[in-house]
Amino acid sequence: MSKIKKDKLEEFFESRIKQQTGAEDWNLPSNDIFLAAIEKVVIQKEENKRKWLILSSIAFFTLVLSILLYISNRSQQVNPAIATTETPNIIEKSESGSQQTIQKINTSTANQNIEEKVKIAPVKFQAATTIANTKSTLRKPAVGKSKILQSQNPVFPDATQFAPDNISNEIKSNINIQQANVLAPYSDDRNPALTKRTKIETIKLLANNKLSGIETNALNLPIANFAYLENSSASCCNSKPIRLFAQSSLLQSSVFMKDVHASDFTLEGYERFSMGYSFGFGLEKDLSNKFSLRANTNLIHFSNSSVYESKFNFDETHAFIADNGDQMYHNKMVLNTPRARISMSDDVFMADKMNQDDLITNTTEIVESYWVAQLGIGLHYALYSTSRLSLDLGLTPGINYIFNDHTELSTVLEAHNMQMASYNSTENSMDVGAFNQLYFDVNSSLSLNYHFTNNWTLRLSGLYGHSLNSIKKFDDLDSSKSYFKTRSVAVGLAYQF
């Protein structure tokens, strides 16, 4: 506010109004207003407490879940169990494998082939060969699987032991080179605990002789190595990877109402489904071959429409003539909607002259729309599963927070079977005392998953959801309860780490 130069009329009004002269109680409000306000303040405080409690619970829950997922993820990266449980297998298989391979490498021709194929190997493999020659790429004992491959792989020691005398040192050297070639891709200075996927893929490539062009047998690569890696591959799938997914959906929503016992108004049409949409993301982890856990957060926009009708008598004290000469009516009413009650106060143009106590019918079309933030954690059961396709059934309880609502009202007042007035209005305010901003719901889903690569999955889901607690707060005046129902089709993409 700033100092303004005022004329005499303005100065007079300012000073006289502040004097508050007049009848004794012309500006004395009822104490009931204070009591009602204080009651509302108390309700608001309780609401805020509850909101913070729930939000902090969600934050705590999310934190705990994140920590668990993190720990789980770490333990799958470095899994000492692989080294201890699988080692005997490897040795056993390697022994027989090595004998087979050694027998095959007993001519200089084979040796030449090897040399040629090593030469045409991709650059990174040649680099690895060089490193292998210096023995630096062969990991230290701390390196779980590389260590196993190197120190417990009996192929080469055995090969030397059982090798016929006519195998030259050169051949042996080449054998070592080939071994290094195979081992090199599994070594990683930055991450000694190699990702299973990298290993599996590399082995598959090698096994198919596509990467280096080296024939497995000619290389002296023991079958055991592949057997081991196959085992690794199996252990990979048991270690339950985490998937990140994003999804969006088209949905239809409606309201289910209970205990509507109104005698002075009717409310209809709320059970009709209206269109909406949602988008969100989440994390997913397999618990077993059949069960998986999905935590997701979504932003949902949906709406519902209904028609409210009531009758009241014309009150001529609310009628007045506007400055432009129009007949106006101050229409004040409380409107029951599926969400809450809305107090409306409008000066409306009257199309017709009315008499005291004439019966007026108020018909208002109500369109309520909401933005909802949803957090859900669901359990999914795989009904059918192949390497490419899977079908699962899920049940996801969720907590929802309505953070924006918007109500459009289109009112028609009729009297003597003629339209008396019509007007549109919009309510954007959030009256937290009128409805529950927080509500719980449960969503059931049926999802078809198409694993189009090892990492990526396309998901198509059908969902049906129902809120568990009433959105509308009920009191002595109106004991009706309302629940949201949603059905949706969602498309999502999941990425497996």
Partner 1 sequence: MNEDILIIKAKSGERLAQQDLYNAYARDWFSICLRYQKYKSDAEDALQNALVKIFSQLRKFDINLGSFGAWSAKIVVNENLQLIKKRRLNYELADVEEKPANNQEQSVYEGLSSEVLTLMIQELPTGYRSVFNLYVVDGYSHKEISEILHINLGTSKSQLSKAKLMLRKKVESIMLNSKVS
Q: Where along the sequence are the contacts to partner 1 (CB under 8 A)?
A: 1-4, 6-10, 12-14, 16-23, 26-31, 33-34, 36-38, 40-41, 44-45, 322-324, 330, 332, 343-347, 425-427, 429
Q: How buried is residue 95: exposed, middle or buried, by Cβ count under 10 Å (0-12/13-18/19+)?
A: middle
Task: Tell me how far, at minimum, the Cβ of 314 lies from partner 1, in Å.
Answer: 16
**DSSP H helix total and E strand total for the chain:** 10, 13
How far is Cα 496 from Cα 237, in angstroms, rounded to an integer?
12
Task: Tell me how far, at minimum, the Cβ of 3 lies from partner 1, in Å.
Answer: 8
Residue among 385 and 425 whose Cβ is closer to partner 1 = 425
How far is Cα 411 from Cα 398, in angstroms, rounded to an integer?
36
Q: At what angle do helices 169-183 and 155-162 cross, to 10 degrees?
A: 170
Residue among 21 and 453 whose Cβ is closer to partner 1 = 21
Task: Tell me how far, at minimum, the Cβ of 262 lies from partner 1, in Å.
Answer: 23
10: Cβ contacts below 8 Å, ≥ 6 apart: none
Task: Tell me how far, at minimum, the Cβ of 49 lies from partner 1, in Å.
Answer: 13
Residue among 346 and 358 whose Cβ is closer to partner 1 = 346
Residue among 44 and 168 whose Cβ is closer to partner 1 = 44
* Whole-angstrom Cα Rg for the chain: 38
Helix/strand/coil for 86: helix
Task: Tell me how far, at minimum, the Cβ of 6 lies from partner 1, in Å.
Answer: 7
Residue among 23 and 418 whose Cβ is closer to partner 1 = 23
Residue among 43 and 71 whose Cβ is closer to partner 1 = 43
Q: Which helix (H) or strand (E) holds 249?
A: strand 242-258
CB distance 356 to 318 below 8 Å: no
CB distance 405 to 430 below 8 Å: yes
Task: Tell me how far, at minimum, the Cβ of 5 lies from partner 1, in Å.
Answer: 11
* DSSP assignment string, 410-467: EEEEEETTEEEEEEEEEE----TTTB-SEEEEEEEEEEEEEE-SSSEEEEEEEEEEEE
Residue among 40 and 416 whose Cβ is closer to partner 1 = 40
- Pick from 434, 461, 448: nearest CA to 386: 448
- Pick from 361, 345, 343: nearest CA to 266: 361
Strand partners, 448: 391, 460
Task: Tell me how far, at minimum, the Cβ of 411 lies from partner 1, in Å.
Answer: 11
Strand partners, 362: 310, 413
Q: How buried is residue 67: exposed, middle or buried, by Cβ count under 10 Å (0-12/13-18/19+)?
A: exposed
CB distance 306 to 270 below 8 Å: yes
Task: Tell me how far, at minimum, the Cβ of 54 lies from partner 1, in Å.
Answer: 20
Task: Tell me how far, at minimum, the Cβ of 41 lies from partner 1, in Å.
Answer: 5
Output phi, psi for 11, to 5 deg. Answer: -60, -40
Task: Tell me how far, at minimum, the Cβ of 26 lies from partner 1, in Å.
Answer: 4
Residue among 274 and 327 whose Cβ is closer to partner 1 = 327
Task: Tell me how far, at minimum, the Cβ of 43 lies from partner 1, in Å.
Answer: 10
- Pick from 246, 247, 248: nearest CA to 277: 248
Residue among 51 and 485 whose Cβ is closer to partner 1 = 51
Residue among 44 and 173 whose Cβ is closer to partner 1 = 44
* DSSP assignment string, 291-345: EEEEEEEEEEEEEEEEEEEEEEE--GGGEEE-TTS-EEEEEEEEEE-SS-EEEEE
Residue among 22 and 164 whose Cβ is closer to partner 1 = 22
Residue among 31 and 386 whose Cβ is closer to partner 1 = 31
Task: Tell me how far, at minimum, the Cβ of 396 lies from partner 1, in Å.
Answer: 36
Strand partners, 245: 282, 494
